[in-house]
Structure 1
């Protein structure tokens, strides 16, 4: 004999009053609702450091693109320019997200290197350039993994953005590794 449970599980329901309160207070904050605001400053700081890293990577890749020489340099220099463009696109995504969070993207050249996780590089040897870029990509991979773990469910939109950037950085690292092996 099948017997129905004596009490049904409570239905999953949103708190309509809390929704209305969160939506109608501090309208100047845009998408940032009160529940999110406690983590916003930390997330903006993390994103500004990531922005600095991406900008330094753009500069390093462009320098390497224009200064690469040797028999293998045309193909590798072209790859450096592709990576520079993708890093610039990451910087744009990050800057846009900082603004969405009510922050100010920090493009100051005075503090760029100090805030960047990766280094600038002035190598003149093609293999040294590839190696420096691979190290920088591996730093970016680890930095984004740590940021994703830190942010967790505190900001799902930023987390998804960072996961997409992380996938690109992993691809860059694999491509650079392949260049080192050739």
Structure 2
């Protein structure tokens, strides 16, 4: 895998921390919805990028006749899109607008879309496992940051986080089999 992922993740992490470091998710008058919407839009971008990556990997796995791996990637792609849609719904409930601008998705996502040069199943699983680990850490921090100031958004992020943890476990098991 390329080192560019680590560099992109560093940049994205610093930007997310900068957004959240401006203070708690509330002001004296209540929830700072603009900052929460910005952070949730990063989650939308991360999940859309995951959908793209998993979809690409599922197609590649089908091409090399690995239906059990393709099926796992397809399921994860569907789950990622549901997460993006649910998060976009929360953004709308906060009075914001979900940002699905293709030019912005890669910039806002916590993970990189880049796919392994090696089309081997093991490389694809490793790449997705690495991305899943990054997402687990990022979403854990977002849930902590939201705290009790926005319990609905926190519960949504915690739900996605639980799915990501399950996905990481499944990818770890899949890695043992390939």
TM-score (norm 1): 0.77
Shift of 1:35: 4.4
Partner of 1:118: 111
Instruction: Determine if contact 1:36/1:155 at 8 Å carries over to the other structure.
Output: no
Q: Does 1:54 align with 2:50?
A: no
Q: 1:80 aligns with which of 54, 68, 73?
A: 73
Aligned-partner Cα distance in 2 for 1:157–1:125 = 40
Paired residue total: 147
Q: Which structure 2 segments of 5+ residues have no match?
A: 1-27
Aligned-partner Cα distance in 1 for 2:75–2:68 = 11
Q: 1:160 aligns with which of 152, 155, 159?
A: 155
Aligned-partner Cα distance in 2 for 1:122–1:40 = 34
Q: Which structure 1 segments of 5+ residues have no match?
A: 1-33
Cα deviation 1:30-58 (Å, max 9, x = unaligned): xxxx9434x21111110000100000000
Greater C-alpha Rg: 1
Shift of 1:134: 0.6
Shift of 1:70: 4.1
Partner of 2:30: 36
Task: Describe the SS at the equivalent of 1:154.
Answer: coil
Larger RCO of the pair (alpha carbons < 8 Å, separation 6+) = 2
Instruction: Determine if contact 2:115/2:127 at 8 Å carries over to the other structure.
Output: no
Q: Which runs of 4+ in 1 moved over 3 A?
A: 34-37
TM-score (norm 2): 0.79
Cα deviation 1:108-129 (Å, max 9, x = unaligned): 0011111111111322111110
